[in-house]
Amino acid sequence: DTAVSQTPKYLVTQMGNDKSIKCEQNLGHDTMYWYKQDSKKFLKIMFSYNNKELIINETVPNRFSPKSPDKAHLNLHINSLELGDSAVYFCASSQDKGDWTQYFGPGTRLLVL
């Protein structure tokens, strides 16, 4: 069984569109994260939720809005997509916000044309 899953794996879209990426974890973890990995492989955190509560919100354009319907799911909605949003987006989870053992999903490769 996949521990952290993301859909879709690939996403190609036009500038200006709105898109969502979904993430689910079946590990029973309390904390989930969204990371962005740019073309140079640099991995940076965007958001973190603990038991559906936002606990980390980095300097991210407000076009990005995370939503956690329950602690097993953390979705990322992006409005008005821009060329610079092209990247790989990873979801991750950990037992709780103090546990540094993070489990990453396989990533969503977003290409904005």
Partner 1 sequence: TQLLEQSPQFLSIQEGENLTVYCNSSSVFSSLQWYRQEPGEGPVLLVTVVTGGEVKKLKRLTFQFGDARKDSSLHITAAQPGDTGLYLCAEAPGYGNKLVFGAGTILRVKS
- CA distances in angstroms from 93 to 14, 16, 33, 36, 41, listed in the order given: 30, 30, 6, 15, 20
Nearest to 74, CA basis, from 92, 59, 62: 92
The CA–CA distances, whole Å, from 103 to 69, 75, 90 equal 20, 16, 10
Determine the 3-state secondary structure of 27 from DSSP. Answer: coil
Q: Which is nearer to partner 1, 4 or 78 (CB)?
A: 4
Least distance CB 88 / partner 1 (angstroms): 9
Q: Does 101 bind partner 1 (CB under 8 A)?
A: yes
Q: Cβ 50 to partner 1, closest distance in Å? A: 8
Stretch that binds partner 1, among 18-26, 59-67, 72-80, 102-110 (CB under 8 A): 102-110
* Residues touching partner 1, count (CB under 8 A): 23
Give the residues lining the site for partner 1 (CB under 8 A): 4, 40-45, 48, 55-56, 58, 90, 92, 97-98, 100-107
